[in-house]
């Protein structure tokens, strides 16, 4: 989905972060290895390492655009960088010079939203970045991202599975293993062979998965969990 959005907006880098409802802290963001953090478009390992440093040091709080967004409390916000801060503020900020420019990115669209309560997500952030030297992101492209975010906000926890939406509790290891094998297309017999358990036990685990995700069929389970983060 992120790859398609990047192509649609002619952008390279997309970063998404989700704060779970159960342990969200207003002053702290999830670490880059958390299951609710996704990023695509890094050119190499150095870019990825810089991103991890950025999140580990909680440098988002130095972002002038993020500070501007926090003064606009709405359930869904999408803004271009130029609509939040001036060129002078942006290009002089340590946030841009120490991190964003190192990724080869300049212009961005920033979004934040409050998803469906069933998602288990308190707040979701999505940033789209375009390479230095490219034309600025347009109002039309901001509207496209707004439409995307509006759809995602309603789907997360419903037709689109959230990594935090298992009735507020993490899956036990065995249920997670069974779910991941189901998502790869394995049958109950194949799962039993791979996990060295009986087909009857696998069937019981699948019934528990149906209960945990509030679905009534295998197809519904797979559709609900198609974006479940793999181990």
Q: What is the pLDDT of residues 69-108, one digit of tens each?
A: 988 878 899 999 999 999 999 999 999 999 999 999 999 9
The whole-angstrom separation of Cα 5 and Cα 165 is 23
| CATH code for the domain in which residue 183 is found | 1.10.10.10
CB atoms within 10 A of CB 196: 6
69 domain-assigned: yes
Tokens 């900020």 found at = 93
| 88 and 198 co-located in one domain | no
Q: Which domain holds residue 125?
A: 2-155
What confidence tier does 231 reach under pLDDT thresholds 50, 70, 90? very low
| 50 and 120 co-located in one domain | yes
Mean pLDDT score of the chain: 85
Can you give the pTM of this predicted structure? Answer: 0.69
pLDDT of residue 76: 92
Q: How far is CA 194 from CA 176, 188, 190, 198, in A?
A: 14, 10, 6, 10
pLDDT, greater one: 190 or 25:
190
| pLDDT > 60? residue 212 | yes
């Amino acid at each position: 989905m992120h790859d398609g959005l990047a192509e649609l907006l002619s952008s390279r880098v997309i970063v998404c972060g989700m704060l779970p409802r159960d342990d969200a802290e207003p002053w702290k963001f999830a670490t880059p290895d958390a299951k609710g953090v996704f990023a695509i478009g890094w050119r190499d390992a150095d870019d990825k390492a810089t991103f991890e440093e950025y999140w580990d040091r909680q440098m988002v709080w130095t972002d002038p655009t993020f500070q501007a967004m926090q003064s606009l409390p709405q359930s869904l916000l999408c803004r271009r960088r130029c609509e939040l801060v001036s060129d002078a503020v942006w290009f002089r900020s340590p946030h841009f010079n120490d991190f964003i420019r190192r990724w080869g990115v300049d212009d961005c669209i920033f979004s934040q939203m409050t998803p469906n309560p069933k998602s288990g997500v308190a707040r979701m952030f999505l940033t789209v970045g375009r390479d230095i030297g490219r034309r600025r992101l347009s109002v039309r492209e901001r509207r496209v991202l707004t439409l995307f975010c509006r759809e995602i906000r309603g789907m997360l926890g419903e037709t689109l599975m959230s990594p935090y939406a298992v009735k507020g509790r993490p899956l036990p290891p065995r249920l997670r293993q069974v779910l991941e094998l189901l998502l790869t297309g394995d049958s109950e017999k194949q799962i039993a062979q791979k996990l060295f358990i009986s087909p009857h036990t696998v069937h019981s685990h699948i019934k528990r998965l149906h209960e945990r995700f509030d679905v009534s069929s295998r197809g519904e389970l797979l559709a609900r969990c198609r974006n479940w983060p793999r181990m």
